[in-house]
Amino acid sequence: MRLLRLWPDESHFDFMRYRRFSFPLSALMSVATVVLFLTIGLNFGIDFKGGTLVELQAKSGTADVAAVRHTANGFGFGESEVQELGGQGNILVRFPLQAGEQGQTQVMQKAHAAFDADYEFRRTETVGPRVSGELVQSGTLGVVLSVVAVLLYLWFRFERELALGAIVGTLHDIVLTVGIFILTRIEFNMTSIAAILTIVGYSLNETVVVFDRTRELMRRYKTIPTVELLNLSINSTMSRTVMTSISTALSLLALVLFGGEAIKGFAVVMLCGVVICTYSAIFISTPVLIYLGLMLSGTRAQARDRADLAQAAE
């Protein structure tokens, strides 16, 4: 029985040719992300901003989001965020952080007075400024330390050129993932940090597979041109890349469509992250080796060959 092949075994597709387009495109997207981060910023959730979160369940089964938003904004506590959770009459209301414990108490008093008649209070969370500040600090520190640990692993895992290529690809994926959060305005909270760290792991996995094959081929074909070597590396691992990416994307798509509002933001970011990581491993991490000095591998190989010949002659 013939096995399913998602990519031809003897493919010789020239991926390196597209580096002239992928590099400027990625550079433009990365710069745009930095600009948007400095101007618009992330849509921080209650974990980082602080405030009061209330989940309401309509007693009639149908929630009037517009009416709830109008009422909540009329409390005088600033602009509130109101969103519907699924289609079962569930509403999530986020009130801005108020000064002091008394301010938070007033928020809940007014909320109960306004919504008790038509809605059931299913969940209430309050995060003060001190707690939110500690979460920001801890979350940022966690991401930074995790990324540093990954970069150190890459440095010791590969030769210098391969390690630098993997580092460039990983940082590229992190920046573009942050750009997804900014563009979609998906709430950035503690779950979002988990999404970023998961994407870092997926990016590392995709890059390591290609670079392991690159290193293997460097030892087998000592005088092969760099561009041909990298194309061969990608083509020989492309079946695995396609299978992994499609299976992961289908699982995440199911979560986006049927997982509910609570996990939808995480699933959307992860789905975009899979696309970014796959693109990065093929069109960023691997082609960048050409400019990071992998072409010197041919020179090293020639030097080793000359040394072997000299030793044999002796």
Domain boundary assignment for the chain: 16-42+132-304, 51-127
Say if CB 16 and CB 227 are below 8 A apart.
yes
Q: Which residue has the tokens 């602080």?
A: 50
Q: Is 45 helix (H, G, I), strand (E, B) or coil?
A: coil
pLDDT for residue 294:
58
As averages over each run of 10 residues, the pLDDT of the chain (314 residues) reads 63 88 94 94 78 82 82 78 74 76 76 83 72 67 79 76 85 93 87 87 88 86 84 90 92 87 84 94 90 56 46 47
SS (H, E, C) 131-169: HHHHHHHHHHHHHHHHHHHHHHHHHHHCCHHHHHHHHHH
How many Å apart are CA 290 and CA 63, to the nearest integer?
Answer: 57
> Domain 16-42+132-304 sits in which CATH superfamily?
Multidrug efflux transporter AcrB transmembrane domain (1.20.1640.10)
Q: Which residue has the tokens 């693109």?
A: 279
How many Å apart are CA 77 and CA 74, to the nearest integer?
Answer: 8
pLDDT for residue 189:
79
Structure tokens at 164: 């630098």
Beta bridge partner(s), residue 90: 57, 85
DSSP 8-state assignment for residue 284: I
How many Å apart are CA 9 and CA 6, to the nearest integer?
Answer: 9
SS (H, E, C) 27-42: HHHHHHHHHHHHHCCC
CATH entry, 51-127, from 3.30.565.10, 3.30.70.3400, 3.40.720.10, 3.40.228.10: 3.30.70.3400
pLDDT for residue 174:
92
- Cβ-based burial of 55 (10 A; exposed 0-12, middle 13-18, buried ≥19): middle
Residue 159 CA, distance from chain mean position: 26
Rounded to two decimals, the pTM is 0.76
pLDDT for residue 89:
78
* 290, amino acid identity: I
Q: Give pLDDT tens digits for 68-114.
A: 888 888 877 777 777 777 667 788 888 777 766 677 777 788 888 88
